[in-house]
Amino acid sequence: MTETPGLNVLYTATAHATGDGRNGHATTDDGRLDLDVRIPQEMGGPGGATNPEQLFAVGYAACFHSALKVVGRRRDLDVEGSEVSASVGIGALPTGGFGLAVELDVHVPALDRATAESLAADAHQVCPYSNATRGNIEVTLTVV
């Protein structure tokens, strides 16, 4: 694995894709994920199984929610009952190929809107998914 300068790797997840890529099968080394993947019907595929965008959305939502809670606790804010939803869109780029766009909807019921927006912005600086995508894809943060 390529090292990122200054990164002290604490955990590495490894997954394998087989079959026909987006119409295939994916597993993780530890066996916790073992699933079929299919191109969604909206993209002309058969559907009927998960797809990479759904998996990315689940990972980003969970990771961002964790960052939100860590930052909230550091700031001594009430983050109980908070939720994060991630929507991941895929589409053709004008330059060729495909790209992604993400919308993160953040709900923190115990906080006023301004505080929740500040918390979400701070979490966006901490979240590993946000750090990995920054400058690469459009990520929109919305406090709902």
Q: What is the pLDDT of residues 70-98, one digit of tens each?
A: 999 999 999 999 999 999 999 999 999 99
Tell me the mean pLDDT in the region 38-64: 97
Question: What does the mean pLDDT of the chain come to?
Answer: 96
Tell me the whole-structure pTM to 2 decimals: 0.94
The proportion of the chain whose per-residue pLDDT surpasses 70, expressed as a percent, equals: 99
Confidence at residue 3, expressed as pLDDT on a 0 to 100 scale: 72
Phi-psi region of 12 (alpha: psi -120 to 50; beta: other; left: phi over 0): beta
Class of domain 1-50: mainly beta
- Integer Cα distance of 96 and 119 in angstroms: 36
Q: For the domain with range 52-143, which CATH number is right: 3.40.50.800, 3.40.50.620, 2.40.70.10, 3.30.300.20?
A: 3.30.300.20
Residue with tokens 């895929």: 90
Instruction: Find out whether 86 and 120 touch, Cβ atoms under 8 Å.
Output: no
The residue type of 15 is: A
